[in-house]
A and B are shown apart, each in its own frame.
Chain A
């Protein structure tokens, strides 16, 4: 066999292992799972093709939904003409915002984040290219596509804003009227803030001050299976939703709120996801598919095509980050000031939460006594961004670690020693007032240096996450 098993450290749980060996295991456990090969429980289904993904559900009389989407970045909708589309053979129904019981939502309302800021189907305005306006339900996918292509929308163009700093300037076009300004408000504040120590004082006494700017692009999760669902009306009036959502209960609750229906009228069948990576957390296909299924009284499938997945499914947010550091000659960082902008796109989705995560992550895994951070969640006329693997943290890490390398280069210091010198230790108070515990950065760097053949002086090799040795 070609996979490798790492040797297992059997010195841990010694008493439990002995008990298990003597036939007195706790809860029937024998402590042999780690260190042995355990077959994936879903592998047989995958290799035989019997795993059931949502699109493998093919109920009789299945109808198909395709969306007519905004052709503009930012525009007022003057008129929507459905005449030609309704004449396409096979088109059953065309839904507009008037058909959605509660046409305004935000996925995070369930944890008290507001305001609701996003129409399910656009009402009087579109705020990003590809925003859904009308849903065409038809006998076949081809008829639904043809119907969607024949809807005529008259627009009055509005000036778009695509840059986070431009969006925050006085007089910038207002992207999202439900917020009233182009940023999310955090408990009355214009951004998520960290104030720890006195950075002004740190900059005043620093030997060196370094400031650099970092910018990332949006990143699409690009799962192999596109976002979608099949909704099947049940004889008892309930709706069964087969979905590839990564968040079944999130989807159930939000869909019920949008449909204005009790939660127990919906049933989600999910959990089998053809790749998600955070891209299938927003609740974007199920609510409108449910309305369509009720209106047509037929099962309805709504699945993104690849172009929709790339264009309108929410990516990782683009971020712009400015980091300014107060650094002493020996490499100790005594102050760090960060200004971070998350490009949420036109709607909040999960970006207010991602921005908070970014703030909590600053100033990175380093014990810096003076920290100031302003983290802005900004609305622009771009595709709404949302969750993706460590969102809020990943791009900050790219910026923070680039910053560390640049400081090391500027001061002609070993980049690993610079990090060891500043790494947080157990007991350090982090900038957001949590005491660090279970830290292991020091040991990880030491081990990485050893594996890479990177020489560290004795003093640095003796450093530990649990002591102040060498500081």
Chain B
């Protein structure tokens, strides 16, 4: 559709007002603008979050609060979020990371959106503003079913993983700037040599980021060995719904998933 207006509100509330009137929300523009440029925009009005005061990144008392319009670059540069830096460097190019936003990453179609996979593994909470006020929702719910009409994700909150429990690995066609074949992000705790807790999120293997609950269940109480992780990776086949695209076939994604799940947790 031909764009009739681009709104650049100065507050989240104003953004909600435009959104409720049918304007399409745009974070950094890396997903919406290609549609605009090819005449395929889903609405005639856009609302940009660039100036809505949602760009902040704070880390306090072990909890990160990241504004929805914070760029991936801003997240990667924050000293309190250095554990995410390797993951962010697997996403697009440094140039695009100056534009793409955390909020936008929640709404892109796989095999893009590796940060959303990380946020799922961190069991993050989305702060949502809407016509009826503010509410919180688990990131898993937002990833699975989006937000309501007129609602805008304004921030994401997540508890920082302690030392040694965060794992991330992405299989891609090139070393840099390539979409996911398989992305694995996980928080895993062990005691006495066996897994006491794990939360594993997968990208590239379903239309949206998914939890590998079958693998999590299988790992509980067992050691992180080559064989156990391979078994967990096989079990994760029950959690995925892979697709064909220019990067890899569905068959290939499923076939290599156990390998990459193992490499994520057993470097």
Q: Does more than half of chain B's interface fall in helix, strand or loop, or is it mixed? A: loop
Please determine whether A146 and B38 come into contact, CB atoms closer than 8 angstroms. Answer: no
How far, in angstroms, from A66 to B37 measured CA to CA in the complex?
13
Please determine whether B39 and A142 come into contact, CB atoms closer than 8 angstroms. Answer: yes
Q: B2's contact among A66, A142, A305, by CB below 8 Å, is which?
A: A142
Q: Which residues of A are found within 8 Å of B1, using beta-carbon distances? A: 146
Bitwise, A5-45 to B at CB < 8 A (1) or not (0) is 00000000000000000000000000000000000000000
B176 within 8 A of A: no
How far, in angstroms, from A88 to B44 measured CA to CA in the complex?
14
- Cβ of B178 to closest chain A Cβ, rounded Å: 16
B3 within 8 A of A: yes
Please determine whether B39 and A307 come into contact, CB atoms closer than 8 angstroms. Answer: no
Q: Which residues of B are found within 8 Å of A146, using beta-carbon distances? A: 1-2, 39
How far, in angstroms, from A145 to B39 measured CA to CA in the complex?
6
How far, in angstroms, from A143 to B4 measured CA to CA in the complex?
12
- Smallest CB-CB separation from A308: which chain B residue? B38
Q: Which of B17-38 contact A (CB under 8 A)?
A: 37-38
Bitwise, A146-167 to B at CB < 8 A (1) or not (0) is 1011000000000000000000
Q: Which residues of A are found within 8 Å of B37, using beta-carbon distances? A: 305
Q: Which residues of B are found within 8 Å of A148, using beta-carbon distances? A: 39
- Smallest CB-CB separation from A90: which chain B residue? B2
- Smallest CB-CB separation from B3: which chain A residue? A142
Q: Which of A122-157 contact B (CB under 8 A)?
A: 142-143, 145-146, 148-149
- Smallest CB-CB separation from B38: which chain A residue? A305
Q: Which residues of A are found within 8 Å of B3, using beta-carbon distances? A: 142
How far, in angstroms, from A148 to B40 measured CA to CA in the complex?
12
Q: Which residues of A are found within 8 Å of B38, using beta-carbon distances? A: 145, 305, 307
How far, in angstroms, from A303 to B39 measured CA to CA in the complex?
15
Q: Which of B64-95 contact A (CB under 8 A)?
A: none
- Cβ of B186 to closest chain A Cβ, rounded Å: 36
How far, in angstroms, from A238 to B9 measured CA to CA in the complex?
50
How far, in angstroms, from A142 to B39 measured CA to CA in the complex?
6
- Cβ of A308 to closest chain B Cβ, rounded Å: 10
Q: Which residues of B are found within 8 Å of A145, using beta-carbon distances? A: 2, 38-39
Bitwise, B32-65 to A at CB < 8 A (1) or not (0) is 0000011100000000000000000000000000
How far, in angstroms, from A143 to B39 measured CA to CA in the complex?
9
- Cβ of A225 to closest chain B Cβ, rounded Å: 16
How far, in angstroms, from A192 to B2 measured CA to CA in the complex?
51
- Cβ of A229 to closest chain B Cβ, rounded Å: 20
- Cβ of B39 to closest chain A Cβ, rounded Å: 3
How far, in angstroms, from A305 to B39 measured CA to CA in the complex?
11
How far, in angstroms, from A265 to B154 measured CA to CA in the complex?
60
Bitwise, B1-19 to A at CB < 8 A (1) or not (0) is 1110000000000000000
- Cβ of A275 to closest chain B Cβ, rounded Å: 19
How far, in angstroms, from A88 to B1 measured CA to CA in the complex?
11
How far, in angstroms, from A148 to B39 measured CA to CA in the complex?
10
- Smallest CB-CB separation from A305: which chain B residue? B38
How far, in angstroms, from A148 to B2 measured CA to CA in the complex?
12
- Cβ of B263 to closest chain A Cβ, rounded Å: 30
Q: Which residues of A are found within 8 Å of B39, using beta-carbon distances? A: 66, 142, 145-146, 148-149
How far, in angstroms, from A444 to B171 measured CA to CA in the complex?
39
Q: Which residues of B are found within 8 Å of A142, using beta-carbon distances? A: 2-3, 39
Bitwise, A219-243 to B at CB < 8 A (1) or not (0) is 0000000000000000000000000
How far, in angstroms, from A146 to B2 measured CA to CA in the complex?
7
- Smallest CB-CB separation from B36: which chain A residue? A142
Which residues of A line the B interface, CB within 8 A?
Answer: 66, 88, 142-143, 145-146, 148-149, 305, 307
Of all A-B residue pairs in the complex, the 6 with the closest CB atoms, nearest first, are: A145-B39, A142-B2, A146-B2, A146-B39, A305-B38, A149-B39
17 contacts between A and B (CB under 8 A): A66-B39, A88-B2, A142-B2, A142-B3, A142-B39, A143-B2, A145-B2, A145-B38, A145-B39, A146-B1, A146-B2, A146-B39, A148-B39, A149-B39, A305-B37, A305-B38, A307-B38
Given A142-B2, A142-B39, 4 extra CB contacts under 8 A: A145-B38, A146-B1, A146-B2, A305-B37
